Amino acid sequence: MLKKKILVTGGAGFIGSHLVNLLNSKGFDIIVYDDFSNGSGKKNLPKNIKIVRGSILNYNKMKLLFSKVNTVFNLAVLPLVMSFDNPDLVVKINDYGTYLVSKACAENKTKLIHVSSSEAYGTARYATMNEEHPLLPTTVYAASKASSEAYVRAFEKSNNLECVIVRPFNSYGEFMREDGYGAAIPKFYHRISKNRSPIIFGTGNQTRDLTHVSDTVNGIFLSFINPKAIGGTFNIAQGKEITIKKLAQIMIKEFSKFSNKKIDLPIQFKKERSGDVKRHLGDISHSRKILGYEPKIDLNEGIRRYIQWKSLTK
Ligand SMILES: NC(=O)c1ccc[n+]([C@@H]2O[C@H](COP(=O)([O-])OP(=O)(O)OC[C@H]3O[C@@H](n4cnc5c(N)ncnc54)[C@H](O)[C@@H]3O)[C@@H](O)[C@H]2O)c1
């Protein structure tokens, strides 16, 4: 039997490289399509896959490539932090790029798994937040993710695009870089490991539903293999919220255990960042029911794995 051919845009990024490793372990034939403008380059990718350097703004290149695969996972993105300095470019890549990805998929009748973001919801109006929670973005990045979904849906309605939308909540874990806006874990690690106080922007009472990246990519994978997922939108979260203050405390405790040293660092607080989400807590009952999704790595375990990985990659 021929192996199923998959293309992953943004496959060299944090979540993309985990997804590619998972798909590779399941025996899929993979093409990574990435312009390498960000991410970790090729170093976290398996050796036996095909890598094509290219932008999701290059429609003709995508149209040709997408004709050779059964499914496209769209993870190419410019990050939240860039939406403060260069919002025009973030809108161009995240929105116009998704429009072109959707169009190239529709033209080729290729299935699209579009990776959106919980950022699109903005701060929780109610919790837990199900997929019907209104999309009320508070940053240009979040707006770009919300409207990227609208383009996917437009092609579904007007061109019968076969698609699934997944909305991961903040993901963390191995391969994570410090340049991400919400990258509290790498930033805390950086300071705690140098015996410096972790810095929190705002009161520290803002919450996130932190999801280990292995659970995130498992959720994305389930949305791809389950035919009942087609046409759906799915939250991929841990289904638990934690304050950023508590997260810093857990990281101090876990680093202290790991290094076998007593660490007593007061948290440093700085001015709140504009547009920062105040509360996130995902409802995963729909994903549980339709996809059979179940998060497996709790926060303490995920933090331990991250610290272990960081200590080995210095
Ligand atoms: N990291 C999280 O916590 C999180 C949470 C929710 C949703 N998401 C979503 O998951 C997806 C992946 O995020 P990530 O954290 O892995 O991001 P990332 O920045 O680590 O990776 C993005 C990748 O896209 C590539 N890229 C950027 N512009 C491109 C272009 N024009 N053409 C082709 N490739 C391009 C980059 O080089 C990079 O390899 C995004 O859709 C993001 O919105 C991420």
CATH number at residue 268: 3.90.25.10
Angle between helices 299-312 and 184-192 (to 10 degrees): 60
Residues 99 and 245 in one domain: no
Q: Does one domain contain both 166 and 273?
A: no
Q: Which structural domain, as residue segments, surrounds residue 62? A: 5-172+213-239+281-297
Residues at CB less than 6 angstroms from ligand 1: 9-10, 12-16, 34-39, 55-57, 75-79, 93, 97, 115, 117-118, 145, 168, 170-171
The number of folded domains in the chain is 2
**DSSP code, position 95:** I
What's the pLDDT score for residue 39? 80
CA–CA distance, 236 with 285 (Å, rounded to integer): 10
Q: How far is residue 217's CA from residue 222's CA, in Å, rounded to a whole number?
A: 8
* Type and span of the H or E element at 37: none
Which residues contact residue 208 at a Cβ distance below 8 angstroms, ignoring those fewer than 6 apart? Answer: 169, 170, 182, 184, 241, 242, 244, 247, 277, 280
Residue 177 has pLDDT above 90, yes or no: no
Q: What's the distance, Cα to Cα, between the start and end of the chain in Å?
A: 42
Q: Can you give the pTM of this predicted structure?
A: 0.97
Q: What is the pLDDT of residue 183?
A: 83
| CA angle centred on 251, ends 250 and 256, rounded to 5° | 100
**Which residue among 14, 92, 118, 235 is best mutated to probe the pocket of ligand 1, counting the most ligand atoms within 8 A of its Cβ?**
14
- The predicted model gives 46-60 an average pLDDT of 98
Assess whether 76 and 220 both reside in one domain.
yes
* pLDDT category of residue 313 using cuts at 50, 70 and 90: confident
pLDDT, average across residues 72-83: 95
pLDDT, greater one: 104 or 180 = 104
Amino acid at 132: E
Q: Is pLDDT above 80 for 110?
A: yes
In this predicted structure, the answer to whether residue 1 has a pLDDT above a threshold of 50 is no
**Which atom of ligand 1 is nearest the CA belonging to 176?**
20
Query: Does 245 lie in the same domain as 230?
Result: no
Q: What is the mean pLDDT of residues 280-290?
A: 98
Query: Is 40's pLDDT higher than 90?
Result: no
Please report the pLDDT score of residue 314 as a whole number. Answer: 65
Average pLDDT over residues 36-54: 95
Closest ligand 1 atom to 93 CA: 31
**What does the pLDDT average to over 132-155?**
98
Q: What mean pLDDT value characterizes the chain?
A: 96
Is 57 a member of any domain? yes
Within-domain flag for 177: no
